[in-house]
A and B are shown apart, each in its own frame.
Chain A
């Protein structure tokens, strides 16, 4: 996978995320820490083994999401700051099946002491969503890497589509990259290339283009999450090295408790020509600790993560408050509304891998309510009596006793 938009400036974003108020129940901060071993091997380079610590902090509200992560590697006898990534995403509400996203990112990529650099980028996406079961998007953006041979910004344009089949989310993407770089006067086969602007006998300024087609499958059930992806790169021999034509990788997360998981993964990562990073094979094994773990990694848009609510509970939490809990894994947002909220949607707060919660004042008596997952259809929660709402839907009925 070639992602010139990922990974520095992690610290300011992290501080921002921590400083932001949680604004009652409409936003939340989640944190993760992964500790483990990473083994990687790039052609012609000494294989690297390292112990890594990877903290991850996210702030998420309906409109704004901030994510910051970094990793420190034990290189020899000293810890070294390695990768870093900070992303801000603004998402509009979905109207008439359409929503828009603006994404800003700053990152640092670290392969070893030689192969490392930084990049900032911005992208805009337009999503078309079909009944939470599928959708597509178009995107365009620009990235600016530093400390590499690329002498222009990288223009990025692409499209993607996703669908849900059973418990799996399948995503396909096409992304085109275009930029100017200082390259060798000959291609990877040794053939001399014509240069528009010759820098000297061995180097010239070249316009580079290549396109990635990638497929991803995400599946999760109960305490297991699986991710697999494969891709193919189109482009001429100047831009695409033979070791980056095809790639594949997979990872598995097994949750041992709501706060701790085993993580294992491996595969092949293609070269990143815009950032001057070579292809490499890698494997990782670690333990992940999580506090209110939020989103599962993946390029799937917010609207795609709907799945069934497995449990719904309501219990008194003080004199006039009721604690509403919904158990559902792998989703981005859960909302509740009812006569006790004047039918205004309230964001529930994630309190565990699959636990969402809202604390609301609900008087004793008979109440009607609905819940909604990932902006989908308003539905009655499971295991509550239901009745028709008169608007082609159903509501759940609560009987609250003191």
Chain B
């Protein structure tokens, strides 16, 4: 084989490598590739368990990816992902088999925030078949901002029962957050703002 042929073959091989390497790399993308082996094994086991139980797996994988992106340690990621899995399982047990994925995700977030399961059941029963995703999101938000769990649970339940819409609840979350940033006590901020939610609710029903 002449040097010219060798050169041509070499160039062809390089060209082929250049074209196929990125494709191969793309096929092999593993969202958990950056996790250490032990933590990755835990996360994969939890994903398998979620699959087996009919729970959504996306929140579990997503939490692991989030931990990796935020440079959290592998064992911590595994622990947090396990909490998500257990919360999803509890949310499903609480909200029932017919809870959709968003409700399960929001319910799991509320449970992780420390909202008692009974509060989720009350919201479900008060919703008359409506999706309780937004009330659950707002509930978890209020508690994460420092509103006592019982106060937050009662207020949201009362508003939900009184016919408050999703936009009302999202607006409530926003204004309470602003009040707290301005120095108001979290519980006072919620109760004060809850009274201003435009629903036809007897005053006595708003928790004092």
Q: Do A399 and B133 have beta carbons less than 8 Å apart?
A: yes
A241-249, A250-258, A316-324, A389-397 - interface stretch? A389-397
| Interface pair B70/A378, CB less than 8 Å apart | yes
Report chain B residues within 8 Å CB of A391.
Answer: 66-67, 70, 72, 76-77, 80
Contact B137 A399 (CB under 8 A): yes
For A394, the closest partner residue in chain B by CB is: B144
Asked if A399 contacts B113 (CB within 8 A), the reply is no
Interface range, B side: 35 or more
> Smallest Cβ distance from B27 to chain A, in angstroms?
16
Cβ of B62 and Cβ of A387 under 8 Å apart? no
Residues from chain B with a CB closer than 8 A to the CB of A385 are 137-138, 140-141, 170, 173
B177: interface (CB < 8 Å)? yes
* Contact between chains at A388 and B145 (CB < 8 Å): no
Please report which residues of chain B, range 117-134, place their CB below 8 angstroms from some CB of chain A when the two chains form the complex.
133-134
A366 and B137 form a contact (CB under 8 A): yes
Docked complex Cα distance between A383 and B174 (Å): 5
Is A140 in the interface zone, CB < 8 Å from B?
Answer: no
- Tell me, yes or no, whether B105 is within 8 Å of chain A by CB: yes
Query: CA of A365 to CA of B103 in the docked complex: distance in angstroms?
Result: 9
Minimum Cβ distance to chain B for residue A289 (Å): 36
B80 nearest in chain A by CB position: A390
Do A387 and B144 form a contact, CB below 8 Å, given A339-B62, A399-B133, A399-B137?
Answer: yes
A286 interfacial by beta-carbon distance below 8 Å: no
Interface centre among B70, B113, B144 (most CB of A within 10 A): B70
Q: Are B67 and A386 in contact (CB under 8 A)?
A: no
- CB proximity to A under 8 Å, residues B76-101: 76-77, 80, 83-84, 101
Say yes or no: is B31 at the interface (Cβ < 8 Å to chain A): yes
Q: Is the CB of A342 within 8 A of B133?
A: no
Question: Is A344 on the interface with B (CB-CB < 8 A)?
Answer: yes
Within 8 A of B (CB), among A331-390: 337, 339, 342-345, 365-366, 368, 378, 383, 385-390
CB distance from A311 to the nearest CB of B (A): 12
Contacting residue for A342 out of B65, B113, B137, CB 8 A = B65
Contact A389-B177, Cβ < 8 Å, known A339-B58, A394-B144: no
**A383 CA to B179 CA, complexed, in Å:** 12
Quick check: A389 and B70 within 8 Å, CB to CB? yes
Bound together, the chains give a CA A339 to CA B67 distance in angstroms of 11
Distance, CA A366 to CA B141, complexed state (A): 13
B74–chain A nearest beta-carbon distance, Å: 12
Bound state CA distance, A368 and B59, in angstroms? Answer: 10
Interface residues of A in 176-226 (CB under 8 A from B): none
A-side contacts of B68, CB under 8 Å = 343
Chain A residues lying within 8 Å of B166, measured Cβ to Cβ, are 399
- Of the candidates A339, A345, A394, the one having the most CB atoms from chain B within 10 angstroms of its own CB is A339
Partner of A397, one of B67, B72, B109, B145: B109
Determine if B48 is an interface residue (Cβ-Cβ < 8 Å).
no
Q: Contact between A342 and B31 (Cβ–Cβ < 8 Å)? A: yes
Residues of A in contact with B, size category: 20 to 34
Choose among A343, A345, A366 the residue that contacts B105 (Cβ–Cβ < 8 A).
Answer: A366
Q: A337 contacts B69, CB within 8 Å?
A: yes
Contacts A393-B70, A399-B133 given; does A343 touch B65 at CB 8 Å: yes
Min CB gap A377→B, angstroms: 10
Q: How far, in whole Å, are A339 and B63 apart by their CA atoms in the complex? A: 8
User: Shortest CB–CB separation between residue A388 and chain B, in angstroms?
Assistant: 6
> How long is the Cα–Cα vector from A238 to B179 in the complex, in angstroms?
63
List residues of chain A with CB within 8 A of the CB of B63. 390
**Bound complex: CA A339 to CA B58 (Å):** 9
* Chain A residue at smallest Cβ distance from B103: A366
User: Complex formed: what's the CA distance from A383 to B109 in Å?
Assistant: 18
Report the minimum CB–CB distance from B60 to chain A (whole Å): 11
Name the A residues within 8 Å of B58 (CB-CB). Answer: 339
Supposing A342-B62, A345-B69, A365-B101 touch, asked if A397 and B137 sit within 8 A by C-beta, the answer is: yes
Min CB distance B68 to A, Å, is 7
Q: Does residue B150 face the partner (Cβ distance < 8 Å to A)? A: no
- Enumerate chain B residues within 8 angstroms of A339, measured Cβ to Cβ: 58-59, 62, 65-66
A343 adjacent to B66 (CB under 8 Å):
yes
In the complex, chain B residues whose CB is within 8 Å of the CB of A387: 109, 112-113, 140-141, 144
Q: Which of these, A343, A365, A383, A390, contacts B69 with CB under 8 Å?
A: A343
Q: Chain B residues with Cβ under 8 A from A394's Cβ?
A: 144
Chain A residues, CB < 8 A from B46: none
The winner among A337, A383, A393, A394 for most chain B CB atoms within 10 A is A383
Complex interface: chain B residues within 8 A of A399 (CB): 102, 133-134, 137, 166, 170
Shortest Cβ distance from residue B156 to the other chain A in the assembled complex, whole angstroms: 12
Residues A397 and B141 in contact, CB atoms below 8 Å apart: yes
A314 vs chain B, min Cβ distance (A): 12
Cross-chain pairs A/B with CB under 8 angstroms, 9 sampled: A337-B69, A339-B62, A339-B65, A339-B66, A342-B31, A365-B101, A390-B112, A391-B72, A397-B109
By Cβ-Cβ distance, the 10 closest A-B pairs, closest first, are A385-B141, A390-B80, A343-B65, A339-B62, A343-B69, A391-B72, A343-B66, A366-B102, A366-B105, A385-B173
